[in-house]
Structure 1
Amino acid sequence: MTAHAGPTAPALPVHAPPRPSGPARRGDTAAADASATEHHRLGLALILVAAFMVVLDFSIVNVALTSIQHELGISAASVQWVVTAYAITFGGLLILGGRAGDLYGRRRMFMVGIGVFTAASLSGGLAQDPLLLIASRMVQGCGAAMVAPAALSLITTGFPEGPRRTRALGLYGATASVGFVAGQVLGGVLVEFSSWRSVFLVNIPVGIAALLLSRRLLSESRLSRAGRHLDTAGAVLVTGAVAALVYAVSQAATTGLGSADVLVPLGLSVLGFAAFLEVEQRRADPLVRPALLRTCGLRSAGALMLLLGLWNGGEMLVLSVYLQEDLHMSPLAAGLVIAPQGIVGLVTGLLGARLARRVGIQRVLVLAALAATAGFVVLTQLPSAGGYRPTLAAVVLVGLGTAGTAFGSMVTASSGVADRDQGLVGGVINMSRQLGAALGAALLPAIADAVDRTGNSSTVVGDRAAMLAGAAAAGLATLVALNARRRCPDKPPTARAPTPA
């Protein structure tokens, strides 16, 4: 009898048709394999669609803020809470959502999150009151915080470490990169030809379809809960600390770095993180094992995703304002100018696994960060009028760097991590990106405004300075990737232990 170290996750996160128990003809076996492969593809497609919907909603609302402000009669400062409320709950609850998926079932958290997200989208789309709209966005963020880590961990626990997982993560990374860009385009289309309410209502048919298909296409993925429970104290502390940090960063752009709205939540965040680390060291079954955070792969991947979120979130906002205010484009036209960034990101995700096999995942990270740096250097030469040829070349390079960094970071973070912690890894990776996006959305526009206030005759000077900050972030990511290549060399994938009959 063979001894096993512990239970293993299913080979794939999908329901596959049962194989014949007795002798079967060769044609029957081939048909069964083809049917199982089709189920695998449909299950992965469902996960990617749900992840796309969650990421899309982070940027699609930006285009609709002006329409929301006019129709509901609220101030510019108040309407920003439509974005901030989503960012706080989404970023704050990601670690808790990831660990809950490990303990209570990843498919279960995936479905609950989609249900919550869809219901909140309906509430937001029908809202006649600003407070109801902001509350709906907070609930949307809660649902997204359950969906995002569950979607990633369904992939990492469903595919064995190696080329198949790398290909799936390439698609996941491409989906996330396309989602950020597609929000600008789709938001412009919906607002221009319909109303701001459609940016919420568009989620409803997608969410309902995902709920109906999840039970048929995805199987449950979780390990035994024997002797394990959710660390409630740690969950409350880390959620509060992250939420306070996101709030402080979001308020920095409007109230200034020295305001009480920034310093008080920033201090609370520091205290919350310190208390969280103290509590985790004393728990027998902590929410986050300190040894996991010290792993080379997760540490470097978290830093890269933070920097990626910073340059991506800031670039989207500054570039959109530049195209509309300086080049006098409509929101839809501005979104179409940025669209090549998403297209290049999709192609990068599709080809990422092949490139990783040729040069190694660590070299992919270095090349991606270099491409993003080059793209931002081009953006520092934004023209004050005329065409957007430099912008077109730049967004292609930034799209290549963004998708490549996202893909490589997820492969690096999940490599060598036990299935029991994959949900938590998904939460940490997604949280790093969301924190970076909140920081970038506050920092880069603030730099542009500060430079513009120095007496420059054109606002393009401030936009160029903001892009220089983006280049600095991408350059720092290049140094992190080079250090990771030295400290975390590529390793051949280890075979997963066979599941006992």
Structure 2
Amino acid sequence: METVPNPKTGSFIVLLLLCSTQFIVVLDTTVVNIALPAIQQALDFTPQNLQWVANAYQLMFAGLLLLGGRIADIFGRRKLFILGLILFSLASLAAGFGLSEWELIAARVVQGIAAAIISPAALSILTVTFPQGRERDRALGVFGAMAGIGAVAGLFLGGILTQFLGWQWVFLINFPVGVVIALLSLVYLEKQPGLGIEKGFDLPGALTVTTGLVLLVYTLVQTGERGWSSLWTLGSFGVALLLFILFVVIELKSPAPMVDFAIFRYRRLTGANLIAILAAGCIGGTLFLLTLYLQQALGYSALETGLALLPFEFATVFAATFSARAVTRYGVRVVLPISLTVYAAGLFLLSRVETDSSYLLILLPGTLLFGLGLTGSGIPLTIAAVSGVPHSQAGLASGLISTTQQIGISIGLAVISTIAASVTANFTGIVPAKEAAVQGYQAGFLTAAGFAAVGVVLALVLLREKKVPTEPVIAEQLEEISR
């Protein structure tokens, strides 16, 4: 049995709860960035430890998503969703009242663990709640838009909260919101059992893949400090690879695998996950460099930076509505390459920034295209990744696409920021410092545009089906699988 909306209220309240949750989970990946200088001053953070206020959350979030999705399938999505919200709210409260470096970092670790439970549970609840076709596409469109809106809203709200209420409120604001959503979920989501632990839980597989993912993300985070070619970096990548190989061996022999590799027979799911790594790779690095460019090159304040990115947020909202309807009418294979092309165009335009670029001529059109392409591609990717998958594997499919997106963000941030730093270092001493930094930003934005361009090619090659199968086809597939 699956989670369904309470018939007294219909699916609208369910969608509102899920989207609100997705918003605060993604918000917390960026809201802290602008507050970091204030946090450093208040808690006397060392420069080396300060980065872990942001990285600790990302590390746990990305590393545990796959496990979180599978646990939701086994123990029940509604139960895990509510427990995750409670844990997230309490961790946010602890972060807001943190009095030392390690108290705050520990709270961020717990926040990341909770987010890894919430996010795939929310997406799988949505997948099994809304029927295949137009209704689900629109629901996924709104849900997907929350990722782009949350990421940019984090930058905007982070500036406002830090400037007017204090850095603590970038965390404390989550507590009342999370508690309210958890309470409403108890009322509006019906309690339905999961698959059950009696069918087996693949503990060795869970440990190996989770350890491998955490190590991979940790290594990517550390490349900026240790370098890509250092013995430590290469060794850590090697250990992560061995863990993934061991995981595959374990899964192939396990009677109750954590990841049933038969799920990859769905061509759309496999292709969507590969493309998602590239598409998501553009996000983290681009927003990171864009924030630095606005503040360091153009001299914007934290609040002005948030305001400058508001058009980007509006573009993501518009694209959410357009993209979901377009997928329903024209199919993923038409909408996705077009959206990725718009994505690449916006990033290419941003790569033309100078030390005194015009906001209206370069930044505004560049960020608008970036926002349109971000959500315009994210929604068809999510639809392709979960459509046609049996309900019993909805949590796994949701965990997979969420994991690849978060891993993509980590890879993109590491690669793009490293390239930007390297180019800046090459120009340092030859040109003024600000111009050297801008050269690095240009290279980073151009790299992101390259990621999106490769995504266009993969979308044309890997997603050849014209449209998502209709509901009768899905029913036939599920009946065939049950046999």
Identify the TM-score tier after normalising by the shorter chain: over 0.9
Q: Which amino acid aligns with 2:455?
A: A
Pairing 1:493–2:457 present: no
* Matches for 1:34-49 after TM superposition, within 5 Å: 36=9, 39-49=10-20
Q: Which amino acid aligns with 2:7?
A: A
Pairing 1:441–2:417 present: no
CA distance in 2, matches of 1:71, 1:260: 36
CA distance in 1, matches of 2:131, 2:39: 46
* Secondary structure in 1 matching 2:328: helix
Could you tell me which residue of structure 2 aligns to residue 241 of structure 1? 212
Pairing 1:341–2:312 present: yes
Which of residues 480, 488, 493 is equivalent to 2:458?
480
Classify 1:388/1:221 alpha carbon distance in 2 versus 1 (closer, same or farther; 3 Å): farther
Could you tell me which residue of structure 1 aligns to residue 75 of structure 2? 104
Kindly indicate whether the alpha-carbon contact (under 8 Å) linking 1:102 and 1:222 is maintained by their aligned counterparts in 2: no
Classify 1:194/1:224 alpha carbon distance in 2 versus 1 (closer, same or farther; 3 Å): closer
Classify 1:244/1:402 alpha carbon distance in 2 versus 1 (closer, same or farther; 3 Å): same
* Matches for 1:22-421 after TM superposition, within 5 Å: 36=9, 39-225=10-196, 228-389=199-360, 390-421=362-393
Between Structure 1 and Structure 2, how many residues are aligned? 469
Classify 1:222/1:429 alpha carbon distance in 2 versus 1 (closer, same or farther; 3 Å): farther
* Secondary structure in 1 matching 2:95: helix
Q: Which amino acid aligns with 2:425?
A: R
Q: Which amino acid aligns with 1:467?
A: F
> How far apart are residue 316 of structure 1 and its match?
0.3
With 82-91 and 465-474 compared, the bigger mean Cα shift is at 82-91
CA distance in 1, matches of 2:108, 2:124: 25
With 70-79 and 365-374 compared, the bigger mean Cα shift is at 70-79
Could you tell me which residue of structure 2 aligns to residue 15 of structure 1? 6
TM-score, normalising length: structure 2: 0.94
CA distance in 2, matches of 1:51, 1:74: 30
CA distance in 2, matches of 1:246, 1:97: 17
TM-score, normalising length: structure 1: 0.91
Classify 1:84/1:329 alpha carbon distance in 2 versus 1 (closer, same or farther; 3 Å): same
Could you tell me which residue of structure 2 aligns to residue 22 of structure 1? none
* Secondary structure in 1 matching 2:463: helix
Kindly indicate whether the alpha-carbon contact (under 8 Å) linking 2:195 and 2:392 is maintained by their aligned counterparts in 1: no
CA distance in 1, matches of 2:416, 2:67: 29
Could you tell me which residue of structure 2 aligns to residue 20 of structure 1? none
Q: Deviations over 1:195-249 (max 9, x none)?
A: 1111000101101101110111112355543862221111111100000000000
CA distance in 2, matches of 1:69, 1:303: 37
CA distance in 1, matches of 2:27, 2:150: 5
Could you tell me which residue of structure 2 aligns to residue 28 of structure 1? none
With 468-477 and 302-311 compared, the bigger mean Cα shift is at 302-311
Kindly indicate whether the alpha-carbon contact (under 8 Å) linking 1:154 and 1:221 is maintained by their aligned counterparts in 2: no
CA distance in 2, matches of 1:497, 1:363: 25
Q: Which amino acid aligns with 1:86?
A: Y
Which of residues 444, 447, 461 is equivalent to 1:466?
444
CA distance in 1, matches of 2:204, 2:167: 39
Q: Deviations over 1:429-461 (max 9, x none)?
A: 111111111122222222111111112431211
Kindly indicate whether the alpha-carbon contact (under 8 Å) linking 2:72 and 2:194 is maintained by their aligned counterparts in 1: no
> How far apart are residue 352 of structure 1 and its match?
2.1
CA distance in 2, matches of 1:224, 1:274: 27
Gaps of 5+ in 1: 1-7, 18-35
Q: Which amino acid aligns with 2:391?
A: D
Gaps of 5+ in 2: 479-483
Could you tell me which residue of structure 1 aligns to residue 481 of structure 2? none
CA distance in 2, matches of 1:111, 1:472: 40
CA distance in 1, matches of 2:404, 2:291: 23
Kindly indicate whether the alpha-carbon contact (under 8 Å) linking 1:161 and 1:494 is maintained by their aligned counterparts in 2: yes
Classify 1:491/1:209 alpha carbon distance in 2 versus 1 (closer, same or farther; 3 Å): closer
Classify 1:382/1:176 alpha carbon distance in 2 versus 1 (closer, same or farther; 3 Å): same
Q: Which amino acid aligns with 2:5?
A: V
CA distance in 2, matches of 1:365, 1:225: 37
Kindly indicate whether the alpha-carbon contact (under 8 Å) linking 1:101 and 1:222 is maintained by their aligned counterparts in 2: no
With 230-239 and 214-223 compared, the bigger mean Cα shift is at 214-223
The structure that has the greater radius of gyration is 1
Q: Which amino acid aligns with 2:117?
A: M
Kindly indicate whether the alpha-carbon contact (under 8 Å) linking 2:315 and 2:368 is maintained by their aligned counterparts in 1: yes
CA distance in 2, matches of 1:75, 1:94: 30
Kindly indicate whether the alpha-carbon contact (under 8 Å) linking 1:103 and 1:229 is maintained by their aligned counterparts in 2: no
Kindly indicate whether the alpha-carbon contact (under 8 Å) linking 1:304 and 1:405 is maintained by their aligned counterparts in 2: no
Q: Deviations over 1:50-81 (max 9, x none)?
A: 11110000111111111111111122121101
Kindly indicate whether the alpha-carbon contact (under 8 Å) linking 2:330 and 2:467 is maintained by their aligned counterparts in 1: no
> How far apart are residue 262 of structure 1 and its match?
2.3
> How far apart are residue 383 of structure 1 and its match?
2.7
CA distance in 1, matches of 2:446, 2:98: 40
Q: Deviations over 1:278-331 (max 9, x none)?
A: 000001111101111342111111122211221010000000000000000001
Could you tell me which residue of structure 1 aligns to residue 403 of structure 2? 431
Q: Which amino acid aligns with 1:469?
A: T
CA distance in 1, matches of 2:439, 2:216: 30
Q: Deviations over 1:239-271 (max 9, x none)?
A: 000000000000011221123442332122111
CA distance in 1, matches of 2:115, 2:332: 28
Kindly indicate whether the alpha-carbon contact (under 8 Å) linking 2:40 and 2:50 is maintained by their aligned counterparts in 1: yes
Kindly indicate whether the alpha-carbon contact (under 8 Å) linking 1:171 and 1:350 is maintained by their aligned counterparts in 2: yes
- Give the share of equivalent positions with the same residue, in percent: 35
CA distance in 2, matches of 1:70, 1:261: 31
